[in-house]
Structure 1
């Protein structure tokens, strides 16, 4: 009887265990069952110590813009309520005029590329509650500093709308699809410089600076769009691939009152980019950043608003490349703050208005990862850095003279900040691999936590039912002596006496990071579901990834896919030697650059990796765009071996393991051409493999049931082949 009781108890415990650990499904993940709460469209006001949040009211199915005080976190007003306006019950985004008494509200947004979109815009006056539709299908409407006018782009041309007179002035008239663009970036600027609006108002609202793109000589790329029509249509757009012609750019100044348009003489530059333009606090001085095609020599120009004469105020050179950021900040006297990697790590520098260096504000073998702003009343700069380890983020303040540095964040993980206009308070967004996003109000002077705003305890409680393992962070040292950031997730019922298959994940692109102590994304949730089926998941950031200094990041220059692939293969060998790992069952997965890597790994590491999944991969850098590729590789004409020696299409004959190749047919970024060429190479090498093309899907491969079907397919491939 005693034996029976013990056996019964054992079965009971097993039963309880199986009930306790619910299985995560792909369906749950992509239907939002693990979605976190946050603060949508959080915007700090500029004139008062308040902030706005976009909230959604379920009963009325309407959106509203709520105003809160930083000091008390109390809601002081609803600035706009969609339920009061049938045409704007829900909306996509909003922006304030400089007085913060009017709001531009966007609806019917139509995505163009990654950042760009057209939308219909309404103007709402908060005081009178008057709503008026202004624009249909336009881009980037932007208030003038005096709030009297709105500049916008439509049909590749620029316009200015006068709010009082309701008069529209057309600034340019030569705009034409696939030919001339005024004031809006072309495809490659948008993707690689992360910029869409290429116009800016002067501080006195009298002038508008803009960039004109002449795409006439840029080669075109065409995609077939299938939809459900009898005859598919063709989408054609300008896409400069590595070594091909870029758009010719010119910089212009438009005087609103006189309608005079003059161009800035940039004839001393040849084959160059204008990644940023920004009026300084002096209404007559425009700044523009000019960088050469190799992207290793950047000038900041100061341009006279009347004569259009220019002078170089700062020059930045790098043996590899100079990163483009939005960190350039002008103080009241037109002195400025700038970030640079010139001492080997990304740091903050302060220059006077003539471009003379006044001080290197931050120093050390660590990186500044975000610049939050300057408080002119205290002389403090606020920023985020990895001073406490490259996988974590902390918030700091420091004086402009580089003294009185203080760490404001207190929790170990990833901290990000949104500061109040007067820099008295900030909202800290914290997460770690075990703590979902938590928003707290803190004092800017010392980081003291004042109040919790949003937390995700309900999600944590829900996830307890799944009894999930956590990431173990560590440093992996390869046989070559390279020390690399890594994490590993073992099954919850991990038994060190067993041998487990390992599924590796990476992205590996220049300056990227996957090994970070922050909350779980959709990929992480999928990985957790695989641990429930007996797999160990591992991730290693190889050489070339970010936040460990310029030398580590830029050592892959001219050889994309060489050292990064070596590191993944070497890391797999180290992991394969762990006593609890089955070295014959190691797989690898990646998307985009990660797909390029996974493809190379299954070929060049044919004896190490049993299987690989590559989604939307680059298979030859000759097929990718000029700005990104040449930043790291120069042109194919200059560096043919760098391109060809690391392109998986040239090594198809080395395939031994199982390979799944996935792409969207309407990927405007990494064209499906990459996978088609890979498929042809594998076919001609007489290699068997699996592949899937998702019709009319872009680089993200989503929409409807797409992600669920895609990740179910990948799960099935892992289960069958690893």
Structure 2
């Protein structure tokens, strides 16, 4: 077989176009924005805005793009074309589009463009449903502003250093990134349906130990700047705590939850809360114990602060309300008083219905598969629509749209194919937006009715624009785990210009979970753009979900419990790549690299020292290399009472034989840079060589300088795994992917 050839700037330029922001613009994804009561929605596709009415079965331009381009050009003196309208922050007010463009805020009614005095809605201010009030946080307290008069009123007055309302914890608030983007910290609060009250949490971080970051190169060119954060770690007695409060806006009264504040170790807890009833007769929220082995549904009386535990579930390992951390919890309190509840108590993830006043639930779904997402509950017809995985014979991760009665009868698959169906529904239900895809086929989007019938066809993009750049779809593969019996799944990207007569080095693009899985069967799986870009540089790339990651059976996920240091079953990754090497002789399994970010950075360094005979080159970015000194959740909830030493990659530092580049942002307030520095210290102590790059001025996601980090990563693999000298090439700063704001 032939040997590697030198890479050129053309190869790098092609790889750059595979990165997520550019890739997403070539194959747009339909993201619905529901209007008012959820009966209609709009979406953006290829710089065109489309309005959809599922009940009428129609889709059409949300406005006259040509007329708007002409009107914007006339009003601003700037040439605007219909194919690239600079529209942002679009919303509809009585069917009139309002948006930001070219430094102004505009409305466009009946072909007439009007400049507005108001700006776009501040994402950290919360208008009431009746639009009479705007809630916000000032100096830690809750305030409201009258939309009519502009008068502002403080609703709380007891904030102090370490105590504030509606805030995220210091350890998980991305303060450094928000500062870089010129944004304030997030304000979380929830208006009652009748706009009379605010539900907000009171966060108390007093007594929590501090960590310090040093900004070496401030914008003013002055002395280095110290940044302090409250940052608890596993085993600390002092943790952030929270309690709920209900504020009557007109009266200015505060009703506080009548329980002692509870520890909070991850901010997702703050979103697992909702008002119930037409006017907000009750508040319901989920809470987990500090070790996450108990999950409770609690009813809060907003008039008294009294609480009642409605459901409590306890397990030997984590008890979660959804398969993956951060997804909407699969809990519904019905008007009848019944409770729809998701549980893994039978070893899978299924739906249960708790009758009012009874502790014995009825199991609605069952079998060796799991419910992934609840889409829509119709209490009138007594049915629930949901996504399920494990029903497609060849892939346990492929999602299908299903329906079942609230008595457990009438289970129906509304989709019965081998596609992955990424569906969602408005809160009110009534229809489903279905995006069906495979790793090779871009999402075909359409609106479905309750029986699975097609109401409106939306988009069916092709991959032609990617293919023209040398892209080929990844192969979905199945191999066997290191135990010799468990099937594991992944994706394999062939190098651009693939020639089976050549031998290609392999890169494992890793994220080990355990809170999510990485390599699904959808078109946009496995952090889109990462694998494609490396494939454009002549590498074969794999993404693998080993045992211990989420999305399958409870036993599969619990493989990582007490064994978090195994980094997503690295032995499964080794076994899978070796099996693929026997299957495909063009894979050079003597030259295997690995790379990842955050938990993937941890897994990368771990791979180089735990499997030094297999992995020879690694680039670890923002790695959480020692969960003993990381935020509390990972060690206490995902490692449990496992051996703490298993969490420290430094314990294996002396095993390093390959080339390892450690990259970290100096202002990473999530995974602090001392994680990387402590690991480097262990390599120095072991007298083994390692490369390190600290990026000034950036946080965990490296926003603003990520393009430089990407290029340095490519160069490292080209030089040490490909075996040639990289070309001199500079990537442009990365734009935001279409449809995404921020990260």
Q: Is the 8 A contact 2:594 2:617 kept in 1?
A: yes
Q: How does 1:481-520 map to 2 (within 5 A)?
A: 481-491=485-495, 500-520=504-524
Helix, strand or coil: the match of 1:561?
helix
Q: Does 1:419 align with 2:425?
A: yes
Task: Give the alignment partner of residue 142 of structure 2, picking from 153, 158, 181.
Answer: 158
Q: What's the CA shift for 1:131? A: 4.8
Structure with greater contact order relative to length (CA < 8 Å, sep ≥ 6): 2
Deviation by residue 1:289-314 (Cα, 9 ceiling, x = unmatched): 23221111122221222222221111
Q: Give the TM-score of the pair, scaled to structure 1.
A: 0.82
Task: Give the alignment partner of residue 461 of structure 2, picking from 453, 456, 481.
Answer: 456
The equivalent of 1:706 in structure 2 is 708
Helix, strand or coil: the match of 1:286?
strand
Change (3 A) 1:575 1:247: same
The equivalent of 2:649 in structure 1 is 648
Helix, strand or coil: the match of 1:622?
helix
Q: How does 1:143-542 map to 2 (within 5 A)?
A: 143-144=128-129, 146-176=130-160, 179-188=162-171, 198-225=188-215, 226-228=217-219, 229-244=221-236, 245-267=238-260, 275=270, 276-281=272-277, 283-324=280-321, 325-354=328-357, 356-357=359-360, 359-386=362-389, 387-388=391-392, 389-409=395-415, 411-419=417-425, 423-445=429-451, 447-457=452-462, 459-464=463-468, 466=470, 468=472, 470-478=474-482, 480-491=484-495, 500-520=504-524, 525-528=529-532, 530-531=534-535, 535-542=539-546
Deviation by residue 1:492-516 (Cα, 9 ceiling, x = unmatched): 7767776543322221111422221
Q: Is the 8 A contact 1:560 1:633 kept in 2?
A: yes
Helix, strand or coil: the match of 1:25?
helix
Helix, strand or coil: the match of 1:652?
helix
CA distance in 1, matches of 2:27, 2:470: 19
Instruction: Give the gaps of 5 or more residues in structure 2.
Output: 1-6, 77-84, 175-184, 322-327, 725-743
CA distance in 2, matches of 1:530, 1:468: 13
Helix, strand or coil: the match of 1:681?
helix
Is 462-471 or 282-291 further displaced after alignment?
462-471
Deviation by residue 1:667-706 (Cα, 9 ceiling, x = unmatched): 2221111111111211222212222222222222242643
Change (3 A) 1:586 1:469: same
Q: Give the TM-score of the pair, scaled to structure 2.
A: 0.79
CA distance in 1, matches of 2:297, 2:427: 27
Is 163-172 or 125-134 further displaced after alignment?
125-134
Helix, strand or coil: the match of 2:340?
strand
The equivalent of 1:566 in structure 2 is 571
Change (3 A) 1:40 1:320: same
Helix, strand or coil: the match of 1:262?
strand
Q: Is the 8 A contact 1:188 1:627 kept in 2?
A: no
Q: How does 1:636-715 map to 2 (within 5 A)?
A: 639=641, 642-703=643-704, 705-706=707-708, 708-715=710-717
Change (3 A) 1:369 1:710: farther
Deviation by residue 1:445-484 (Cα, 9 ceiling, x = unmatched): 1x23454322322x42551562636314113243543432
Change (3 A) 1:583 1:308: closer
CA distance in 1, matches of 2:304, 2:320: 30
Q: What's the CA shift for 1:441? A: 2.9
Change (3 A) 1:718 1:540: farther
Change (3 A) 1:529 1:169: closer
Pairs aligned (count) = 670
CA distance in 2, matches of 1:516, 1:270: 34
CA distance in 1, matches of 2:167, 2:97: 22
Deviation by residue 1:304-337 (Cα, 9 ceiling, x = unmatched): 2222222111112121112254333233334332
Q: Does 1:600 align with 2:602?
A: no
Change (3 A) 1:629 1:383: same
CA distance in 1, matches of 2:448, 2:491: 31
Change (3 A) 1:710 1:30: farther
Q: Does 1:553 align with 2:582?
A: no
CA distance in 2, matches of 1:349, 1:136: 39
Q: Give me the CA root mean square deviation.
A: 3.9
* Runs (4+) off by over 6 Å: 21-24, 55-58, 79-86, 94-97, 100-108, 120-130, 134-138, 268-273, 492-498
Q: What's the CA shift for 1:211? A: 1.0
Q: What's the CA shift for 1:37? A: 4.3
